[in-house]
């Protein structure tokens, strides 16, 4: 029997503190925020390239399934993607992966689940790998291993783990403690007996499930029911939505780790960062001579220690310091770098005002490509649509709007009623209200077109799909 590491990547977070880049439909784990130029999800998987790993399992929200699949395709990694109908915190998510692994493991291999968050940055690769090897030794002895970050300062934003008796390359967990005030955090740092709680774990699937059944039977039962009638299509594993809705939301710490007598902690000192805020991103990014982190079209004069991100236009700074300035196509954030933990209050305000800027970007990604909402008013909307080579939008119709398509570049195959024909650059077609239609890119280069919608209602939910390559309804 051989032992393999099974990576389980939790990719279901929303990342509201990195608004306006991170949004509900495009959260931070899918953004290129890693210092190596990859998205945080991609960097998490690539971090495991030197380890003997099985095909990874990714757990993500159903709405993000194509983002996850496309990002895995970009880096050449095949993964199974378990789709959560709704977020239920880490204990149920990990339980789904553990049950799935138990269901599909017909070999004689002994798998150790390595549970990682998709939105962490770790830059000391050798030290990371050594901590993983240290954890393997303990997990093979049926211990539930968590990784504790060696603290570098008194931090009030993390929970802590107090070390107990030494066990091989780790320690028994004496206790978990909540986020402390600054004075308490300083005491923890000075004692050298506390580690930051990273939210990373390693254990055998059956060992975890046995402990979960003992301490959180309701979660175990709900997840078992949700995994009874799974459906697989492409790389996706769909669970029973109704059964999973009955599961309570709980973290693995509360459900299992704080109760079990088999919890151990392995120190991790590998320049770890959970990228929980813009100030955290400023800490890990390359800075100019004035201490600024700059992305995009930016002019900075007599300004120091700022984080500036420009997506679509010129951003200029003059005589300011310690600011976060984030510009996107539909929103601008200006914040004191010391106050960025409160950005979630802006997001809550947007929700209360029924605005969409917390939910999606002006530019929206789809499995077939993307669209950018250029302009809109009460009875019209203009979009720039990009369709990837070989991709096709669903066969659909609308009850409340007509559409006019003008090809800017590439070639479009149009399905309109019973007619099928090609459109080249500078050619157009009108789709009347109620007409069944579809759009396809038969070429080798991206198809770019302008879509003008007009009608009494222009919402994205005015789509009746008759056939879809991507399983949407």
Q: How many residues does the chain have?
A: 473
Assigned token pair, 40: 């945080």
Sorted by where each begins, the domain ranges of the chain are: 3-273, 278-347, 363-467
CA 234 to chain centre: 20
pLDDT at 260: 95
Each residue of 120-130: pLDDT tens digit? 999 999 999 99
* Mean local confidence (pLDDT), 48-74: 92
pLDDT tier, 472 (very low <50, low <70, confident <90, very high otherwise): low
CA angle 100, 105, 106 (to 5 degrees): 140
pLDDT at 461: 87
Using CA atoms, how far residue 402 sits from 371, 381, 406, 414, 431, in Å, is: 17, 11, 14, 15, 6
Using CA atoms, how far residue 104 sits from 111, 142, 197, 204, 279, in Å, is: 12, 21, 31, 14, 42
Each residue of 235-286: pLDDT tens digit? 899 999 999 999 999 999 999 999 999 999 999 999 999 888 999 999 989 9
* Mean local confidence (pLDDT), 133-151: 95
Exposure on the CB side of residue 445, measured as CA atoms within 13 A? 8
Assigned token pair, 153: 């300062």
Q: Are 305 and 321 in contact (CB under 8 A)?
A: yes
pLDDT at 104: 77
HEC letters along the chain: CCEEEEEEEECCCCCHHHCCCCECCECHHHCCCCCCCCCHHHHHHHCCCCCCECCCEEEEEHHHHHHHHHHHHHCCCCCEEEEECCCCCHHHHHHHHHHHHHHHCCCCCEEEEEEEECCCEECCHHHHHHHHHHHHHHHCCCCEEEEEECCCCCCCCCCEEEEEEEECCEEEEEEEECCCCHHHHHHHHHHCCEEEEEEEEEEEHHHHHHHHHHHCHHHHHHHHHHCCCCEEECCEEECCHHHHHCCCCCCHHHHHHCCCCCEEEEEECCCEECCCCHHHHHHHCCCCCCCCEEECCEEEECCECCEEEECCCCEEEECCECEEEEECCCCEEEEEHHHHHHHHHHHHHHHHCCCCCCCCCCEEEECCEEEEEEEECCCEEEEEEEECCCCECCEEECCCEEEEEEEEECCEEEEECCEEEEECCCCEEEECCCCCEEEECCCCCCEEEEEEEEECCCCCCCCEEEECCCCCC
Matching residue, tokens 């009850």: 399
Assigned token pair, 425: 């650059």
Q: Report the alpha-carbon distance of residue 77 to residue 386 in Å, rounded.
A: 25
pLDDT tier, 469 (very low <50, low <70, confident <90, very high otherwise): confident
Q: Report the alpha-carbon distance of residue 247 to residue 249 in Å, rounded.
A: 7
Percent of all residues in the chain with a pLDDT value above 70, rounded to a whole number: 98
Domain 3-273: top CATH class: alpha beta
Q: At the topology level of CATH, where does 363-467 sit? A: Jelly Rolls (2.60.120)
* Mean local confidence (pLDDT), 323-352: 95
pLDDT at 2: 62
pLDDT at 318: 98
Assigned token pair, 225: 């029911």
Each residue of 81-121: pLDDT tens digit? 999 999 999 999 999 999 998 887 766 567 899 999 999 99
Using CA atoms, how far residue 197 sits from 285, 314, 347, in Å, is: 23, 40, 26
pLDDT at 459: 87
* Mean local confidence (pLDDT), 160-179: 94
Overall pTM surpassing 0.85 (yes/no): yes
Q: Report the alpha-carbon distance of residue 46 to residue 300 in Å, rounded.
A: 34
The dihedral built from the CA positions of residue 118, 123, 126 and 131, taken in this order, carries a sign that is negative
């Amino acid at each position: 029997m051989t032992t393999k590491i099974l990576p389980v990547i939790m990719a279901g977070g929303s990342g509201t503190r990195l608004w306006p880049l991170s949004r509900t439909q495009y959260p931070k784990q899918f953004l290129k925020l890693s210092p190596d130029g990859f998205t945080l999800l991609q960097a998490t998987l690539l971090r495991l390239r030197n380890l003997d790993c099985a095909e990874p399992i990714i757990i993500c929200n159903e709405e993000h399934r194509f983002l996850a699949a496309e990002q895995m395709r970009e880096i050449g990694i095949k993964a199974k993607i378990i789709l959560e109908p709704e977020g239920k915190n880490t204990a149920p998510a990990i339980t789904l992966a553990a049950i799935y692994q138990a269901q599909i493991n017909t070999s004689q291999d002994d798998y150790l689940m390595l549970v990682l968050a998709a939105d962490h940055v770790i830059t000391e690769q050798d030290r990371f790998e050594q901590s993983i090897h240290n954890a393997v030794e303990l997990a093979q002895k049926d211990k539930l291993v968590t990784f504790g970050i060696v603290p570098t300062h008194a931090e009030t934003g993390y929970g802590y783990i107090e070390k107990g008796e030494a066990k091989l390359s780790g320690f028994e967990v004496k206790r978990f403690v909540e986020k402390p005030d600054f004075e308490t955090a300083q005491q923890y740092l000075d004692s050298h007996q506390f580690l930051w709680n990273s939210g990373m774990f390693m254990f055998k699937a059956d060992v975890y499930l046995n402990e979960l059944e003992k301490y959180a039977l309701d979660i175990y039962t709900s997840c078992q029911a949700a995994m009874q009638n799974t459906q697989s299509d492409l790389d996706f594993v769909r669970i029973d939505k109704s059964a999973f809705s009955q599961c309570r939301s709980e973290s693995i710490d509360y459900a299992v780790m704080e109760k079990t007598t088999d919890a151990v902690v392995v120190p991790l000192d590998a320049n770890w960062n959970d990228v929980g805020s813009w100030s955290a991103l400023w800490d890990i990014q390359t800075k100019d001579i004035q201490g600024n982190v700059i992305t995009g079209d930016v002019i900075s004069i007599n300004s120091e220690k700022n984080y500036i991100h420009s997506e679509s236009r010129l951003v200029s700074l003059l005589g300011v310091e310690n600011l976060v300035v984030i510009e996107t196509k539909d929103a601008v954030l200006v914040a004191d770098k010391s106050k960025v933990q409160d950005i979630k209050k802006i997001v809550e305000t947007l929700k209360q005002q029924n605005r969409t800027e917390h939910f999606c970007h002006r530019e929206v990604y789809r499995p077939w490509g993307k669209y950018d909402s250029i302009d809109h008013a009460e009875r019209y909307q203009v979009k720039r649509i990009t369709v990837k080579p070989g991709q096709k939008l669903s066969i659909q119709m609308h009850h409340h709007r007509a559409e006019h398509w003008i090809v800017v570049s590439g070639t479009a195959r149009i399905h309109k009623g019973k007619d099928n024909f090609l459109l080249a650059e500078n050619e157009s077609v009108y789709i009347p209200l109620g007409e069944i239609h579809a759009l396809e890119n038969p070429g080798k280069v991206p198809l770019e077109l302008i879509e003008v919608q007009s009608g009494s209602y222009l919402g994205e939910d005015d789509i009746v799909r008759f056939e879809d390559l991507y399983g949407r309804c």
